[in-house]
Amino acid sequence: MGKDRIELIIKSLAERNIEGFFFESFEEAKLKVMEIIPINDSVGIGNSITLKNMKISNELNDRGNVVYDKTLAKSKEDSKELKRKSLLTDWYITGTNAITLDGHLVNIDHSGNRVAAMLYGPNNVIVIIGINKITSTLDEAIYRVRNIASPKNARRAGFKPPCVELEKCIDCKSTQRVCNSLVVIEGQNDKGRMKVFIVNEKDGF
Ligand code: SF4
């Protein structure tokens, strides 16, 4: 990925009141996360392969932060409670399904907790994204989240909507549908609330 494209995204984000940062590796990005989040602050975690692979949840928990991570839930009720508690944390850490050169963040969500926390609730939001999720345009980003991210996420979560077999979205009305909210974040009201960490590696869908 050319540095000029990353610089363009960071500039576009700044125009949208979102802070952009560039890291060479997920490890470097994790060190920054651990540095800027105070140890007494609470943290909600959005479900993301990238974050799982980074082991952010475990490391924050081990050093004493209160962490709400629904992927560690022991039951459906527990999961629901963790998702609700994540909405009022000091920090929320999540991935995103796509980002455009113009600074749009595009996400599709199943129950909506992840996009809800990105939009409002947590005082601070950190979005961590690998370069494989960068798209040139908003149309491309929406195509990506519908036809690449969603079928793979559905398969990973054990759901069986038509796209799992077809490997493309047909805007199904299946009870197994995993795409109930398509959200485009175009800016932030509170300056400094949202930080986007762009990492020069590939991970996640
Ligand atoms: S709307 Fe249905 S077919 Fe399309 S990506 Fe979502 S779950 Fe798959």
**In this predicted model, what pLDDT tens digit does every residue of 141-182 receive, in sequence order?**
999 999 999 999 999 999 999 999 999 999 999 999 999 999
Residue 3 has pLDDT above 90, yes or no: no
The CATH number that applies at residue 125 is 3.40.50
Query: Which residues sit with their C-beta closer than 6 Å to ligand 1?
Result: 146, 150-151, 154, 161-163, 169-172, 174, 177-179
Residue closest via CA to ligand 1's atom 4 equals 169
Find how far residue 16's CA is from the centre of its chain: 18
How many independent structural domains does the chain possess? 1
Tell whether 174 is covered by a domain: no
Ligand 1 atom closest to Cα of residue 108: 6
Residue closest via CA to ligand 1's atom 6 equals 179
Predicted local distance difference test score (pLDDT) of residue 204 = 85
Tell whether 161 is covered by a domain: no
Residue range 104-127, pLDDT digits in tens: 999 999 999 999 999 999 999 999
Tell whether 178 is covered by a domain: no
Pocket probe for ligand 1: among 177, 180, 182, the residue whose CB has the most ligand atoms within 8 Å is 177
Ligand 1 atom closest to Cα of residue 177: 7
Predicted local distance difference test score (pLDDT) of residue 47 = 87
Ligand 1 atom closest to Cα of residue 172: 2
Residue closest via CA to ligand 1's atom 5 equals 169
Considering Cα of 57, then 196, then 39, then 44, what sign does the dihedral take?
negative
Predicted local distance difference test score (pLDDT) of residue 56 = 96
**Strand arrangement of the beta sheet that strand 98-100 belongs to:** 134-135, 98-100, 105-109, 181-185
Q: Where in the sequence is the domain holding 88, given as residue range(s)?
A: 3-103+111-134+189-199
Q: How far is the CA of 167 from the centre of ligand 1 (A)?
A: 9
25: burial class by Cβ within 10 Å (0-12, 13-18, 19+)? exposed
Ligand 1 atom closest to Cα of residue 169: 4
Contact call for residues 201 and 1 (beta carbons, < 8 A): no
Predicted local distance difference test score (pLDDT) of residue 96 = 96
Predicted local distance difference test score (pLDDT) of residue 1 = 64
Tell whether 204 is covered by a domain: no
Q: Which residue carries 């959200």 as its tokens? A: 183
Tell whether 149 is covered by a domain: no
Tell whether 54 is covered by a domain: yes
Residue range 20-64, pLDDT digits in tens: 999 999 999 999 999 999 999 999 999 889 999 999 999 999 999
Tell whether 77 is covered by a domain: yes
Q: How far is the CA of 112 from the centre of ligand 1 (A)?
A: 15
Predicted local distance difference test score (pLDDT) of residue 172 = 97
Pocket probe for ligand 1: among 148, 159, 169, 176, the residue whose CB has the most ligand atoms within 8 Å is 169
Tell whether 176 is covered by a domain: no
